[in-house]
Amino acid sequence: MKILLLGAPGAGKGTQASQIAVKYNIPHISTGDIFRKNIKEGTPIGLKAKGYIDKGQLVPDEVTCEMVADRLAQADCANGYLLDGFPRNLFQAEQLAKISTLDTVINIDVDLSALEARITGRRVCPKCGESYHVTTKTDDKCDKCGETLIQRDDDKPATVQSRLEVYKAQTEPLIAYYSEKGILKTVDGMQSIADVFGDIVKVLG
């Protein structure tokens, strides 16, 4: 099962992806997570990516596509994978099509005007990556591993606007691209986390 999760920043891709990966026993490949890990470890990819991520811009395609190609070539992807955050523009989608064929693309559809509050209220665990929101999380410790939660630098208001603009200009056109290929399914992302997941499971069967 080769799945792509599409959706604007803050649509809930990461939250849904963790659950989908467990249910269908496929690796969750988040380019954002891979970049953050590389930045933390100070690798050459991390050094190249940091400036772009801090500004809310896309990391150049050549860096991103090579990183994803390497990841998809690993043995655990042989029977399927769940892509989250890649592709993010038409060029990346064409590059992906050269190396792999997606079965289903799920678009988590949200009201763009609700996203700024969703993103700036997000808190994440720097250790295990679990994500929370200030409206439902009353303390600052991760429920899974107890680590103190942080706000991602690029979730701060100054960067969020440019991330949303990048989404509209570069990533949103992928909805039409995959719709034309007949593999796009849309779920309503304005529901509760459990209901969104329920709809995704119905789509995937």
Site residues, ligand AMP (CB under 6 A): 9, 31-32, 35, 52-53, 56-59, 64, 85-86, 88, 92, 154, 163
Q: Does 13 participate in catalysis according to the annotation?
A: yes
The token duo for 183 is 């593999």
Distances 139 to 50, 78, 79, 113, 134 between C-alpha atoms, Å: 29, 40, 39, 27, 9
Do the Cβ atoms of 77 and 86 come closer than 8 Å?
A: no
**What's the min distance (Å) between Cβ of 75 and ligand AMP?**
23
**What's the min distance (Å) between Cβ of 182 and ligand AMP?**
23
Separation between Cα atoms, residue 142 and residue 146, nearest integer Å: 5
Burial class of 192 by CB neighbour count within 10 A (0 to 12, 13 to 18, 19+): exposed
Q: Does 152 participate in catalysis according to the annotation?
A: yes
| Sheet arrangement for strand 184-188 | 28-30, 81-84, 2-6, 104-109, 184-188
**What's the min distance (Å) between Cβ of 83 and ligand AMP?**
9
DSSP label at 113? G
Given the residues 2, 36, 122, 123, the one annotated as active site: 122
Given the residues 13, 36, 118, 123, the one annotated as active site: 13
Q: Does 36 participate in catalysis according to the annotation?
A: no
Q: Which is nearer to ligand AMP, 31 or 199 (CB)?
A: 31
Q: Which is nearer to ligand AMP, 15 or 92 (CB)?
A: 92
**What's the min distance (Å) between Cβ of 11 and ligand AMP?**
10
Q: Does 123 participate in catalysis according to the annotation?
A: no
Measured from each CB, the residue nearest to ligand AMP is: 32
What residues are labeled active site? 13, 88, 122, 152, 163
